[in-house]
Amino acid sequence: MAEPKISLKDVEHVARLARLELSEADKERMRRELDSILSYIDKLRALDTEGVEPTAHAIPMTNVMRDDMPRPSLPQEDMLANAPERSGEFFRVPRIIEE
């Protein structure tokens, strides 16, 4: 069997970066699935892309900007209406510093 492309440690690291809590079972399943996908993607390595510019935009354009003209903001209530937790005029979030 080919060498695994991604380890369990990699999965844990990426899950932390992505702020996704994964159970032990999830982690192993995820590792297997990502491994299989990454193996498929590996065929790209065979392609010589020396000197080829990356495509950042499929339809190339430059210099799209707007004037410094004010547009009305949305009312406070509209912006807070979807808040899972609010404190008066603010969005409320739990403790920021980890133990």
Partner 1 sequence: MSAPSTYEAVIGLEVHAQLLTRTKMFCGCSTAFGAAPNTQTCPVCQGMPGTLPVINRRAVEFGIKTALAIGCAPNALNRFARKHYYYPDMPKNYQISQYEEPLAVHGRLDIEVGGAARTVGIERLHLEEDVGKLIHEGALESAQSSNVDFNRAGVPLMEIVSKPDLRSSEEAAAYLKALRAIVIYLGVCDGNMEEGSLRCDANISLRKRGATEFGTKVEIKNMNSFRNVQHALEYEITRQTRALDAGERIVQETRLWDPDKSVTVSMRSKEFAHDYRYFPEPDLTPLGVEATWVDEIRATLPELPAARRRRFIEAYGLSPYEADLLTQSRALADYFEEASEGFPKPKVVANWVLNELLREVPGDDEKALAACRIRPAHLVGLLTLIEDGTISGKIAKDVFEKMYRSGETAQAIVSREGLTQVLDEDILRRAVDQVLREHAKVVEDYKNGKKAARGFLVGQVMKSTQGKGNPAAVNRLLDEKLPKV
Partner 2 sequence: MLASLTVHELGARFRRGEATPSQAAQAYLERIDALDPQVRAYLTVTREEALKQAAAADLRFKSATPLGPLDGVPIGLKDVLCTRGIRTTCGSKILETFVPPYDATVVARLREAGAVVLGKLNMDEFAMGSSTENSAYFSTRNPWDLARVPGGSSGGSAAAVSADLAAATLGTDTGGSIRQPAAFCGNVGLKPTYGRVSRYGLIAFASSLDQIGPFGKDVEDAALMLRAIAGHDPLDSTSVDVPVPDYAAELGKGIAGLTLGVPAEYFIEGMDPEVKAATRAAIAALEKLGARTQPVSLPHTEYGLAAYYLIAPAECSSNLARYDGVKYGLRAPKARNIVDMYSKTRAQGFGREVKRRVMLGTYALSAGYYDAYYGKAQRVRTLVRRDFQQAFERVDLIVAPTTPNVAFKMGEKEDPLQMYLNDVFTIPVNLAGLPGLSVPAGFTRTGLPIGLQLIGRPFEEATLLRAAHAYERATEWHKRKPALP
How far, in Å, CA of 99 to CA of 92, rounded? 19
CB of 38 closer than 8 Å to CB of 6: yes
* Residue 37 binding result from partner 2, partner 1, none, given CB thresholds of 5 to 8 Å by partner type: partner 2
One-letter amino acid for residue 12 of the chain: E
* Residue 11 binding result from partner 1, partner 2, none, given CB thresholds of 5 to 8 Å by partner type: partner 2
Q: How far is the CB of 74 from partner 2 (least distance, A)?
A: 6
Q: Does 64 bind partner 1 (CB under 8 A)?
A: yes
Q: Read out DSSP for 9-56?
A: HHHHHHHHHTT----HHHHHHHHHHHHHHHHHHGGGGGS--TTPPP-S
* Residue 24 binding result from partner 1, partner 2, none, given CB thresholds of 5 to 8 Å by partner type: none
How far, in Å, CA of 48 to CA of 24, rounded? 39
Q: Does 52 bind partner 1 (CB under 8 A)?
A: no
C-beta closer to partner 2: residue 2 or 55: 55
* Site for partner 1, rule CB under 8 A: 17, 19, 56-57, 61-76, 79-80, 87, 89-98
